[in-house]
Amino acid sequence: MKQEIETIQAEALSAIGAAENQAQLEEARIAILGKKGKLTGAAAGMRHLSKEEKPAAGQMLNEARQAISAALDEKQVVLQEKADELLVAGVDMTMPAAELAAGGLHPLTIVKDRAIQILRRMGFALAEGPEIEDEFHCFDALNTPQDHPARNEKDTFYFDSGKLLRTHTSSVQIRTMEKAKPPVRIIAPGSAYRRDDIDATHHCVFNQLEGLFVAEDVKLGDLKGTLEFFLRHMFGEKTEVRFRPHFFPFTEPSFEIDVKLHVKGEEPKWIEVAGCGMVDPAVFDSINAGRKDELFDSEKVTGFAFGMGLDRLAMIQWGIKDIRLLIENDARFLKQFS
């Protein structure tokens, strides 16, 4: 057996040395060390040896396997270096490299990160929820009546299962209150979906950021101060902000918020940027019914909620005239923000 192992090792090293490419090297490896390889066959013959012969034969097999494996590794390195040399043959390595285009953040990402940064400074934590929602979290728990237009199939994307694509991130507020205890102070940025006709200012998918603060003795003045602070840090300390009475099913009283937009060469004009209000007690009642406790008793806690479109904030920030530019991924447009 000693002679057989020495012969196999010599033939193996010769085949490895003669290999001119990776395919030939792999072929040699399989012929020697594969399941049906010569050295594997020799190892199988150990069972025919006596107890006295096995130790010496086993040692020879291990030494042969180690020598062959080392030769394979060395040849692998040599062949790889040869392949690398061929790859760059004829290439002038002293030529300067081609300049790589610099990337940048998308305008929506810039606005979202900025908004989160400002609100985190005021103690708001990030929260998230599913984009595929049910009617309870999207409508019922938010005090939205059955005949409200938003629940119509013409306005909302429904699945055959009865689930829907959330029309706002307010559903995250409900899911947070179902699990957390007051005080609650969260913001929920994310995508929302509505069956809007697509034009320069509307799209079927858009980005929202909603906020909720619930605790004892939260007042309307807290809401006003929070949003004025936010908008003036977003658009500038001299930004004019106004609150207009409005109606939302889940807040009472409710307001729409405008900022005065100053565009060079144009008359200043008010533009709506957000909706807000004090959380309606009916929303707290719905939460308590689901939790089966009174932690959100409207006699003990109050709160405010707000929501804004990040797309609109970006359009105001940079004077973007068409919302479709924000999702078309046109490199010529996006390059302005890199």
Report pLDDT digits (tens) over 83-119.
888 887 877 778 888 888 777 889 999 999 999 999 9
DSSP summary character for residue 318 = H
Q: How are beta strands 251-261 and 241-248 bridged, if at all?
A: antiparallel
In single-letter form, the type of residue at position 185 comes to R
Rounded-to-integer distance, Cα 324 and Cα 329, Å: 9
Reduce the DSSP state of residue 210 to 3 states and report it.
strand
Residue linked to tokens 């399941």: 35
Of 135, 159, 156, the residue nearest 145 (C-alpha): 135
Whole-angstrom distance, CA of residue 126 vs CA of residue 139: 22
Q: Residue 110: its pLDDT value, please?
A: 93
CA 291, distance to chain mean position in Å, is 30
| Element at 180 (helix H, strand E) | none
Residue that the structure tokens 């090297």 belong to: 25
H-helix segments, the chain: 2-18, 22-33, 38-44, 54-87, 107-121, 135-138, 170-179, 220-235, 281-291, 310-318, 331-334
Which residue numbers in the chain have pLDDT < 50? none
In this structure, the chain runs to a length of 338
Q: What angle do CA 42, 47, 49 make, to 5 degrees?
A: 90
Question: Is 252 annotated for ligand binding?
Answer: yes
Superfamily grouping for domain 107-337:
Bira Bifunctional Protein; Domain 2 (3.30.930.10)
Q: What angle do CA 101, 104, 105 make, to 5 degrees?
A: 160
* pLDDT of the residue at 16: 86
Q: How far apart are CA 163 and CA 201, in angstroms?
A: 27
